[in-house]
Amino acid sequence: MVVRAPSALAEQVRKWREQRLSIAMVPTMGALHAGHLSLLHLAQQKADRVVVSIFINPMQFSAGEDFERYPRREEEDLIMLREHGASLAYLPGADAMYPKGFQTTVYVKELTGILCGASRPGHFDGVATVVTKLLLQALPDIAVFGEKDYQQLLVIRRLVRDLDIPVSVVGAPLIREPDGLAMSSRNRYLSKEERQTAPRLFATLNKAAEGVLSGRIAPEEVTAWGRAQLRQEGFGEVDYFDLRDAETLHCVSELNRSARLLAAVHLGKTRLLDNVAIAP
Ligand code: AMP
């Protein structure tokens, strides 16, 4: 089933509630791949009905970013969702999400100015606002987000807690191509040559993680090490290559708690994101 109006979504959710069915939501921007499908499958294990939303949220792109050229694959996406048993695809229009006069922003203070928030100012305000709206429109029991966008997952956990949104947020593991490249809708932008370079981001994160765990690379040195390595591997500008606390995203100088090594790097016209867990 495909619905586009928030009222139609609410009506369907109400019917499911009457039948005492549990509901999960998987928000996406479409151009679906196996990473998105893994979220759908996890949601299906956890709830009776799954709503997958597809909305390319203009509010999370700044001027000069790839909003216009972001891949739009509605027909293929809907076929995939049907084949994989999504109960409902929710595709709201931009006017339904941001009607004339719209002026409210959800702002999560500390988590949003660093890492991707530093290189994409305002990005997480757009994410936090649209996710809040989607969750309030569907009011699911659970919502599933990928660890691919690790900082985004933490921002959403925070806002759900802070705003008492009655939804439990589930994080899902990052799904990779066989050569290690993190799956992403934006990987379609890569040229053949760039596609060969791209998996070296994951390889570099792994090497850095091993280096830190074995004591060969000090936590304070991992950023410089990673930046130099990525340059050597043929990547362009490195937005960040940082070791952070897995929960607070504070900088880490000692490995005594779960940490995450996170990176964003440019390759041609594509910005690649990836991260790996580091458990002490
Ligand atoms: P997007 O369509 O890129 O906004 O992503 C929608 C959701 O899918 C987000 O929760 C992402 O973190 C998640 N996602 C995207 N790519 C992957 C991946 N390779 N593995 C796991 N989750 C992913």
Beta strands at 142-146 and 88-90: parallel, antiparallel or unpaired: unpaired
User: pLDDT grade, residue 89 (50/70/90)?
Assistant: very high
Residue 279 has pLDDT above 90, yes or no: no
How far from chain centre, in Å, is Cα 227? 23
Residue nearest to atom 6 of ligand 1 (CA): 28
* pLDDT tens digits for range 238-268: 999 999 999 999 999 999 899 999 999 999 9
Q: What is the pLDDT of residues 90-147, one digit of tens each?
A: 999 999 999 999 999 999 999 999 999 999 999 999 999 999 999 999 999 999 999 9
Mean pLDDT throughout 9-16?
98
Count Cβ atoms within 10 A of the Cβ of residue 244 and give its class: 0-12 exposed, 13-18 middle, 19 or more buried.
buried
Rounded percentage of the chain residues whose pLDDT exceeds 90: 98
Two structure tokens written together for 224: 């410089």
The per-residue pLDDT of the chain, averaged, comes to 98
Question: Average of pLDDT values for 43-48?
Answer: 99
Separation of CA 34 and ligand 1 centre (Å): 9
Q: Specify the ligand 1 atom closest to the Cα of 185.
A: 3
126 Cβ inside 6 Å of ligand 1 = no
Name the strand (E) or helix (H) holding 41.
helix 34-46
Name the DSSP letter for residue 174.
P
Structure tokens that stand for 8 in this block? 């139609």
Name the active-site residue from 33, 36, 250, 266: 36
Query: From the alpha carbon of 145, which atom of ligand 1 is closest?
Result: 10
The position carrying tokens 């409210």 is 104
d(CA 40, CA 45): 9
Identify the three-state secondary structure at position 108: coil
**Rounded CA separation 125/259 (Å):** 25
Q: In what order do the strands lie in the sheet with 23-28?
A: 2-3, 88-90, 49-54, 23-28, 142-146, 168-172
33 as an active site residue: the answer is no
Q: What is the pLDDT of residue 280?
A: 78
Q: Are strands 2-3 and 142-146 parallel, antiparallel or unpaired?
A: unpaired
pLDDT in tens, 175-222: 999 999 999 999 999 999 999 999 999 999 999 999 999 999 999 999
